[in-house]
Amino acid sequence: MAAPAPAPAPTPQPTEQVPVTARSDTATLPSFTFGQTDRSVNEHCNEINVLTAANGGVTTPGRVSDKEFALNEQFCLARTHAMAESTSITATIPNLTDAQIEQQCQGLAQVIAPQIDGLGTARPDMVISDASAVLQESGQPMPQLISGGKVCLGVGYRIDDAQMALASAILLTAAGQLGYGEAVSHHMREGFGTAKVDAQKAGAWMKLGLDSVKSTAGAAVMGQSPDRVAVLEEASGGASASATLPVFGSSNN
């Protein structure tokens, strides 16, 4: 008698595959502590210069439609002039390399750091008074301090050290070169080398600089011309212990 045929095996039924997501009760969104990145004046002015070229040239008096942009254009023009003047004075400094000059300018930034810290709360005359006392205590002749400040202002812009440039502008203002209040104002307005402040505080330094240029005793600085001053007025209207000051021994400039 033949053995019965085995029953066919049941066909497995397809089952829905449910994806499994690994999870943890302790999972959280990433939380990192990032260091503060200083704003770059060089990058800022590169962007402004591109827009200026696209607009067909620098904003002229009576044609200020964007006040903030016009102020930035004037800041970048002043920066270019400061770098050129710095290079000219540096050529008169004997026996110092560029690296040695930068090192001395770092010292300037350290000496004026307390005045930079006070920009957001102290009036311009208070900051200038404090910085002036520092200059008097240095024992250096004022013409030499002014030349050193001009050198370091340009160096600060050239190496993109906003705090060095700002410290230099404060030194120059405290040394009686009040037109450099314009540079201090630009730094405060945009937050270069210091915390960004409201328009009123930055405007006080701009007024100081422009009033000096317009007065009979004031001298134009950083390429300030009647056109530049007119645009600035139109655009801004309504709107450590071991550190030492640099001793360059250059001729008076």
Contact 106, 164 (CB under 8 A): yes
In a domain, 153, yes or no: yes
152-196 tens-digit pLDDT: 999 999 999 999 999 999 999 999 999 999 999 999 999 999 999
Which pLDDT does position 213 carry in this prediction?
87
Q: If you search the block for the tokens 């066909």, which residue do you land on?
A: 11
Which pLDDT does position 220 carry in this prediction?
78
In a domain, 17, yes or no: no
125-140 tens-digit pLDDT: 999 999 999 999 999 9
In a domain, 111, yes or no: yes
In a domain, 79, yes or no: yes
In a domain, 101, yes or no: yes
Which pLDDT does position 110 carry in this prediction?
94
Which pLDDT does position 143 carry in this prediction?
95
Residue ranges in the chain modelled with pLDDT below 70:
1-26, 31-37, 216-218, 238-253
Residues 6+ apart with CB under 8 A from 43: none
**SS3 state of residue 17:** coil
Which pLDDT does position 39 carry in this prediction?
84
Q: What is the count of structural domains for the chain?
A: 1
DSSP secondary structure, 104-170, as one string = HHHHHHHHTHHHHHTTTTS-HHHHHHHHHHHHHHHT--HHHHHHHHHHHHHHHHHTT-HHHHHHHHH
Nearest CA to 82 among 198, 2, 172?
A: 172
Task: For residue 128, give its domain range.
Answer: 41-56+66-236
In a domain, 215, yes or no: yes
In a domain, 204, yes or no: yes
